[in-house]
Amino acid sequence: MRVPDDKIWVEVSQIARAPMDVEGEANGRLFALEHDPYVHQNGPVSYKIHVELAGQDLVVTGSAEAPLALLCGRCGRFFSTNVKISSFLRAYNWNDHPEVLDLTGDIREDLLLEVPPYPVCSPDCRGRCPQCGKNLNDGPCGCPPRPDWDEGSPWGELDNLGLGVPPEQSGDGPATKQ
Ligand SMILES: [Zn+2]
Ligand SMILES: [Zn+2]
């Protein structure tokens, strides 16, 4: 049997004689992420599969792992990570798959469920400057600090309560004629 390199196929026609253990690698193209803006495949999917016949059911257990590149939600850069599943479990009717069991879609699905909903390249990621857009992981940008974003300022709390100086009496009001 010639297996396409981006498929995870198990040849099950002889399964009645003994359980099967299959391990291998499949091309990361199986993720079909070419046009995904947030997740890219970054190498082959490695898998270890155990298949047993229980009545007419093919019971499949196993694990799989794949390197992916994810877009950091803070700094907008791709970073490499591995997604893993350690307890893949599915049952298939042998009558529906008498020769070959194609596990590609189900393993793909379980691996993609491991992608975090809000990936961050590192817990220390500094993100981007909201003013100039520079990636602050590369160093500070030189923008002046914005006092209204300074959570440490006691005046920020007062402003929020509306107890501050009315605008017309502050320096920000309309200029008076000299
Ligand atoms: Zn980041
Ligand atoms: Zn900046």
Q: How far apart are the CA of 28 and the centre of ligand 2, in A?
A: 38
Q: How far apart are the CA of 155 and the centre of ligand 2, in A?
A: 23
Q: How far apart are the CA of 130 and the centre of ligand 2, in A?
A: 7
Q: How far apart are the CA of 127 and the centre of ligand 1, in A?
A: 6
Per-residue pLDDT of the chain (178 residues; tens, 9 = 90+): 678 999 999 999 989 889 999 999 999 999 999 999 999 999 999 999 999 999 999 999 999 999 999 999 999 999 999 999 999 999 999 999 999 999 999 999 999 999 999 999 999 999 999 999 999 999 999 998 776 655 555 555 555 555 555 555 544 545 444 4
Ligand nearest to the CA of 125: 1
Q: Is the pTM of this model over 0.85?
A: no
